Chain A
């Protein structure tokens, strides 16, 4: 909401000499946040000038400029060059003289141009900040009309036009619809200054006399489809003004206020309705009476009904849309109620008789219609937030008065007024409630006084003569007030709402600061003792371990294109193709939510490479969304109570599975080339190593096994990672390896990019308890090496696993220390050398024991993998 300081000052006491900043500071105190300060940035000599002569001078560039002589009230006229065409000798114009600064920091100086010294500037509407569009030069006779009489060259144009009036723009929260008006802002400004509204605030509706007789135009409220029992229109007034002169312009000051508020002047009738809406917050609509046929009927739209709205768009109406209609039994819709009028009965340049509508429409109905037709309007904004239902007739009267005064019309004596203000709810406010919620010990008389400032009628409570009656009426005890909120505050519905009013008016700066003492571990058994869950701690360890392993953490947006699944090479039917779709995506080409982190992490990799990085190692921790194949709609149980266990379970079950994943991508050197050597490129084994590291850090060891069928990985360079032991033993938690060449090409990432992705939810669900280290063996260790020859296709892990199994409990460690393939072992075979360490916890091992264990290990490897001792 935007308002000029001078307009605001008409309805409320603004401090002497207050700037726009001061006004904004007062308003923010009561919750109206400053959105911006506009206009008024004119300084220096800006004066009225009379054009004495204007000689056209065609220029080589095709333009014609005017070389003007302008009387600015000095002894000699000034010579000024002007490029505009819409003025001539004799016109009164606005001249900014050298030294003046116009909006936008535009400083005026004498300047040589087009062969003359231009000693000032003749100003346009836009240059003075009086309008958005440049209608050319401001000609005061046209702008001010009769008010231009008596204006003389040399007069201060800044004062004349109010050029220094600044506009305060505030953000109005959805609960304060009444602040979408000067009336509401004026009241709040008085609150912000701590002034008594009875004296500091002048309600523009106070004292407005409303006719009581019946009006000419019949109105029928015929809503047969109320939403949740609320009628679409609770009140509808109509008033006819005849004989308005359509050629009469809107007065300058009124247009100026509309422009300052960000609205476009249209015609007198429309401008007046907008002006009154800005002033008091009541949306009004002007119909051309000659184009209306009979009574106005408020009803729901009919099946298949269409309406062309004022913006020229023909709209198919929805049966839930509330319309205003005319004709026989309301056959023809002439407006979307509370949203926008229809084109067929629009006020035009020929309109002489006007019907003014001021009504009260249901917020929900208006909100749905505005949303359905994507048609947010100044009217719908106000109705959605709640319009004071007591002011329709008075607001209409304000508009009638302006039309009569400036358009020369005659208003009918009567007023059609159907329906009426709703009954006010009475809210019980326990006396101690403000202190209980705010922590300030407000005196009861202070609470009462503040609520009365807001406009509430307060009865009952301490010290009131009507204590018993009021409390009884509200169903509250004697320790409570009965509070009837004012008609403009439909948002005040419960005690907490009133408490906010008390705290807000008393000032949030009076609230002390007290650090609460928490009860540790309130969030259930997993958090007994408070603090981080084991899961959070594990994720932290994991992130730090990966960073220490040389990877850089990044975070990518979860949005992906459908084509990404193709680029990754996912086959039809792959579970990762089943993704949630965003109905209103940020970018149309990326409507899906990722089902794997790699799907979006590759974009980050590409960005890094694009920015010149050669060696990149990235990881991301984030969730993916894995919807079930058969998804049921998410229920929305009522919220006036706790949902039943079944309802709650159904809501929770509707939320898709979203496991936490970790993914990494590496390209380029793992060990960089430097003075020691050529370095080493990241390869698939690095990815496997990092995957194993993840398991190790979490205390859930993993094993790697070849996996030939897991896009986007290279079929020969991919390992599946499984949980090695414990309750989740054998569960596949992810994959690591090199990306397949086709995926590399389709994703446009560097060749030999290696990757991993693991589902951490499985691992975090298998976290071990506190480590139990057991006793450390101190007897001597015995080392034995074995070299085994196997088929080249036999995975080293299988050999190792068999060795470990065969060696039995005495084996302390087994490591692959050499791999050899070549003539000595024969085609298609390779030699794997393992270093075995044996130790017993309770004795020194004998040579025979060790030899036996070693032989058992080799035998097991032979049985499992066909391994034979090298050289045997």
Chain B
């Protein structure tokens, strides 16, 4: 730095010479432009804009100027330094953007590689279907109740008007707890909860009861000894079979879709009178009882000697198609038993049958899953093969 310039001599203050300033600015701009990365830019910025840079040094000389010249030199130096700073900022923005872009490129991932780190689990479709039925009934304002699987014979049979020697007790093949005289059974239906609920809550009463029930059937493609039912029970003043039909029709639509055709068929259950079966028109054969030709040519039985000697045979000669296996060729699928609660049942539960009437029904969830979701073999529902549940996920 020059000594204080008491006696002003512009010649002595060469750093403030306009040309020199302009030169320093040009040098700075060139260096900034030449900076290839942020480090070089920082170096250029230090060299041309830092405390020891020509422009900074020149700036200090302003104080040596006579007052008349200070303003002019100050303005000139300010402009010069601003131009350099602007250039640095501009260049920094460019270089930072370049750097960021490069980083993002190096951080790129192949997102097509598998992403599942833990396989998803699943609910069992029977449980999910039960929940849908529950939701249907709670939507109507009904309550959902449960009952025990090992049940007193009194609740399973006596309270439901099954006389001690009535053939209906044999109709439902019952698992008895040993010794049978002790009067405990694996409940054959969810209906004992009817009696429990009426004793507990009296009338009026609107309840749905899902649960597992047991019959001594062998496991095969369409039967399982342990299966799931949902029971419905409504007892109130003025309830009729028309209400039974209305509730079931709405349930059928909720479960099987709009347009499902049903029929009520007279039937017999000790705990309802009148009684009915609700049949659903077979969705597989559309009620015709026959599926397309070739779908199931019947196997031939063993040949007798006479047959063998005398004749040839041909499969399905008429080409009329095979009987529908889903409905057994009848065109209808038995969906559930139902009826008006037998006055005996109401009386045994302390409800006045002359004031109250009610209806009850029970339907099989396994069967519903079969024709609702096209499950061919009931064994898939009981085997517990995780692949089966997984095909449903958490919605049925």
Contacts and interface: CB of A to CB of B under 8 A. Distances in A.
Interface stretch (A109-117, A159-167, A409-417, A745-753): A109-117
Contacts of B158: 636-637, 639
Nearest to A632: B182
A548 B121 contact: yes
B266 A84 contact: no
A7 interface: no
Interface stretch (A122-130, A766-774, A850-858): A122-130
Contacts of A571: none
Contacts of B274: 437-438, 496, 499-500, 503-504
A221 interface: no
Contacts of B301: 104
A224 interface: no
A558 B165 CA distance: 28
Which applies to chain B's interface (DSSP): helix, strand, loop or mixed?
mixed
A254 interface: no
B370 interface: no
Interface in B139-173: 140-146, 148-155, 158-159, 161, 163-168, 170-171
A80 B266 contact: no
B144 A531 contact: yes
B181 to A, nearest CB: 7
B191 to A, nearest CB: 14
Contact of B265 (A28, A546, A615, A648): A28
Contacts of B21: none
A30 B263 CA distance: 12
A517 B180 CA distance: 42
A558 B158 CA distance: 25
Interface string A207-250: 00000000000000000000000000000000000000000000
Contacts of B206: 516, 518-520, 522-523, 530
B368 interface: no
What range describes how many residues of A lie at the interface? 35 or more
Nearest to B309: A83
Contact of B310 (A82, A134, A552): A82
Contacts of A533: 143-145
Nearest to B242: A439
B178 interface: yes
A105 B140 CA distance: 51
B75 interface: no
Contacts of B151: 655
Interface residues of B, number: 127
A252 interface: no
Contacts of A642: 199, 347-350
Contact of A496 (B181, B234, B264, B343): B343
A360 to B, nearest CB: 17
Nearest to A124: B306
A641 B347 contact: yes
Contacts of A519: 141, 204, 206, 236
A581 B144 contact: no
Interface of B: 113-114, 117-124, 126-127, 131, 134, 138, 140-146, 148-155, 158-159, 161, 163-168, 170-171, 175-184, 186, 197, 199-201, 204-207, 212, 216, 218, 225-226, 234, 236, 238-243, 245-247, 249-250, 263-268, 273-277, 298, 300-301, 304-318, 330, 334, 340, 342-344, 347-350, 357, 382-387, 389-390, 394
Interface of A: 28-31, 33-34, 63, 65, 80-84, 96, 101, 104-109, 111, 113-114, 118, 120-124, 126-127, 134, 137, 173-176, 363-364, 367-368, 371, 384-385, 435-440, 494-497, 499-500, 503-504, 508-509, 511-524, 527, 530-533, 536, 540, 543-544, 546-558, 580-586, 591, 593, 603-604, 607-608, 611, 613, 615-619, 621-623, 625, 631, 633-637, 639-643, 648, 651-652, 654-656, 658, 670-672, 674-676
30 contacts: A33-B267, A33-B277, A106-B313, A174-B171, A371-B170, A508-B241, A511-B245, A512-B245, A513-B249, A516-B243, A523-B143, A523-B207, A533-B144, A553-B121, A554-B124, A554-B386, A580-B150, A582-B186, A603-B384, A608-B384, A619-B121, A625-B149, A634-B153, A634-B182, A639-B347, A651-B154, A654-B152, A654-B184, A655-B155, A656-B150
